[in-house]
Each structure stands twice: as C-alpha cells, then as structure tokens.
Amino acid sequence: MIWYPYEQMKTMKPPYEIVDAEGVYLYTKDGGSMIDSVSSWWSVIHGYKHPVLTRAIKEQADVFSHVMLGGLTHKTVQKLSDKLADWLPGDLDYCFFSDSGSVAVEVALKMALQFNVNRKDPRKTVLSLTHSYHGDTFKTMEVGDDEDYHFAFENKQGVIHIPTEIPALEEAFEKHHDELNCFIVEPLLQGAGGMRMYDLAFLERARQLCDQYDVLLIFDEVATGFGRTGYRFVADEVLPDILVLGKALTGGYIGHAVTVAGEKVYRGFYGDDPALALMHGPTFMGNALACSAALASIELFEGQDYMAKIHRITEIMRREMADFSSPKVKEVRIMGGCICLEVCDRADLVGYQEFAAKRGVFARPFLNCLYAMPPYVIAEEELVKVLSAMKAWFD
C-alpha cells in the first residue's frame, strides 16, 4: 500500500490516477485531462514527455544507468559539474551531488558547520527566516520554521529565526554574529511557508553582514532556481557562499540535486589531513541518468531562451489579474513564474482542487495559498485557463 505524502491516510480523497502526460497536460484513468498548474511540485519546467530529455535518458541507459562516485567517476557527471561551474555565477565551481533537495540542504548545513570546525571556530548556530522551509529531513526541519514540524522540536537549539526585514537582520548579526556559522535563506520567494515574497535589498544587506562577520551565506534555490523568481538564479544578483539546486535541475524527470560551494568553502576542506574531508556520500549522487537529464535540461533552458518565456508568463499573470479583487482574497502576489492568491480564511479554499479539475486544471492549494507555478512551456491560452479557474472560484 502506498503511504501518500502530507495526507491523513484515513480521510484522504482518492488521488487522480495518471495514465499519460505530455506537454503541460496530465491524462487521467477516466479519460480526462488537466493542465498541471504546479509543475509536479515546481520541477517539470519543460513539461512532460519532452523528446530531448527522454532521448538523453534513453541514450545514457543504453550505456549504463548508475555507478557510485566512491572510487569511480564517469563522463556524464564530469560534464554536468563542468557545465554548472561554467554556468553559475562567481566562484561557485565545486559540485557535491545528492538525490534530493532536502539532502542537498543537509549537505550545505553540514559543510557550513564543518567549515568552521576545520578552522577551529566554535560557532554552531544557524540563522534562518521565519516561515522558512528547507526540506523534510531532520536538520532541515530544525532550521526551517514550518509549523507542521514543530512537534519534533520541543525547544529548538542552535537556530535563530528572523523576519525578512533589514532591521531584524542587522539586530541578529549585531547580537549573535559570534555564534553564527551560516545564514540560510530561500532567496526572494519562500515557497512552502506560504509563497511569501520579499525584496532583493534584504539579500544585498545579508551579503554585506556575512562578509563583515565572516558568516557563510547559503541560498536554498531548490524551488527558486532556474528562473522561477524571474531571475535565472537569485545567486546571479547576490552571490552566496553555497548554492543548493534541485527540482528543475533535471527538468523534473529524475530526482537529483547539487550543493555548489565557492572557493572559500572548498579550500576549508582541502589539505593533507584526512580529517578535513567532507564525510558524506549519497548512494545515488551523480547518477548517470539524472546527470544526462540535467545536461539536456540546461541545454533547453539556454537554447530556447527560457528567461523570455518566464517574463512572458509574468506579463500574462499581471494582465489577467489586473482587475481582479475579492473580499475573500487578502493579497495577489506575482513573481517570475509564480502567482499566489492569499485568502483571508483557508476554509475558503476547501473544494478548489475538485472545482479546478472539472475545468481541466490540476491544482494543489495549501495553507491559505491558491497558487500556480506552471511549466515554462505553457501556451498563453493554457495559462489564461489556469488563471480563469482561480478567479472563477471567488465569483
């Protein structure tokens, strides 16, 4: 029996059974079709059954599907590492691969802690944001601020949460800089914490303070990377010491992630002493099928000017929502390839998924957020259909 995610198994509604998927469409067992407005948890940026991605995976599978990176290597992972080093900003050149976003964030936090241990620095506290989400594994739950996970921590130790306000940021560094080994953020867009959006100036000030007090800055771009905020990566605008990518890394075709370190962090582990080494090694890190999908995904993103596609999505969202208002909706937020209608009462979203499905749209509202993060290949009429369903719910 399948144990489904984020569900009370006793009372959950039967999930939609998908028998095929192509482009932005999911095809159900009963013969229906739905536009996937959430890109399978924000990952399937090229849509389903893309021939370039499918071909890349099949060709790699004909050679081999996986070999471990412990004592072995292969050309596909080397190509991806070289591509990311060339493609990412600044000195983000050192790629540590893993099999999911949560694990990749765990690796980043472990890097930050051991970086300080290696230089005989006792700082062990993590600075994080209120309403943050960094994954479902234990340390990511601890540094996050998701109320669903508070049951696991009667009293959180070693983490400080602040709002996305510059005075609070400055106060935290002034009071706690001698305790902090890192500051971790979802840059500009806090996803699972409520699709909260904030200003780039906060991150610019964070970079200044991290430099001033020698604290590592970690960007968790598992959800925000590959254009979702309207920037290719927020790291292009403000350079972190460690960058975490996942979800869209492989175009959503195979689970994989990467923790990318800058020169300063990498050199903190490099030396003659084996004790300095990063002791971590996921079984499926650098999986050949995932790496082949990632290389093909990046090729599509670059070659077909996906940033122009994303900017067009933003324009359509703003145009379609310009005259929308409802007493039930507290705020409409749009950033890059994301739109969120925050309702005043989360009870007002009960039943929306079924409502949307009848109109040919798959949606998955959560908390008090009715949102869409569509695949970037979505056509204008398809996106208008998604937005029309959202607006019609409040008629």
The structure's pTM equals 0.97
Which residue in 9, 38, 13, 56 sits closest to 295, CA to CA? 56
Check 247, 253, 309, 352 and give the catalytic one.
247
Catalytic residue among 36, 99, 145, 220: 220
DSSP code per residue over 228-293: TTSSS-GGGTS--SEEEE-GGGGTTSS--EEEEE-HHHHHTT-SS-GGGS-----TTTT-HHHHHH
Q: Write the single-letter amino acid at 142.
A: E
Specify whether the CB–CB gap between 352 and 389 falls below 8 A.
no
Identify whether 247 is a catalytic site residue: yes
Q: What is d(CA 287, CA 285) in angstroms, rounded to the nearest whole number? A: 5
Contact criterion met (CB below 8 Å) for 184 and 115: no
CATH class entry, domain 18-50+305-392:
alpha beta
pLDDT at 293: 98
6 is catalytic: yes
What is the amino acid identity at position 389? A
Q: How many CB atoms lie within 10 A of CB 175?
A: 10
Cα distance between residue 139 and residue 108, in whole Å:
11
Catalytic annotation, pick one of 133, 198, 266, 352? 133
What is the reported pLDDT for 147? 82
Strands 33-36 and 94-98 turn out to be unpaired
Active-site annotation holds for 120: no
Residue pLDDT tens, the chain, 395 long: 999 999 999 999 999 999 999 999 999 999 999 999 999 999 999 999 999 999 999 999 999 999 999 999 999 999 999 999 999 999 999 999 999 999 999 999 999 999 999 999 999 999 999 999 999 999 999 999 988 777 888 788 899 999 999 999 999 999 999 999 999 999 999 999 999 999 999 999 999 999 999 999 999 999 999 999 999 999 999 999 999 999 999 999 999 999 999 999 999 999 999 999 999 999 999 999 999 999 999 999 999 999 999 999 999 999 999 999 999 999 999 999 999 999 999 999 999 999 999 999 999 999 999 999 999 999 999 999 999 999 999 99
Query: Looking at the domain that runs over 53-303, which CATH code has it been given?
Result: 3.40.640.10
Are 209 and 169 spatial neighbours (Cβ–Cβ below 8 Å)? yes
* 36 carries an active-site annotation: no
The domain segmentation of the chain, as residue ranges, is: 18-50+305-392, 53-303
Give the count of beta carbons closer than 10 Å to the beta carbon of residue 104.
30
Q: Catalytic one among 4, 6, 82, 236?
A: 6
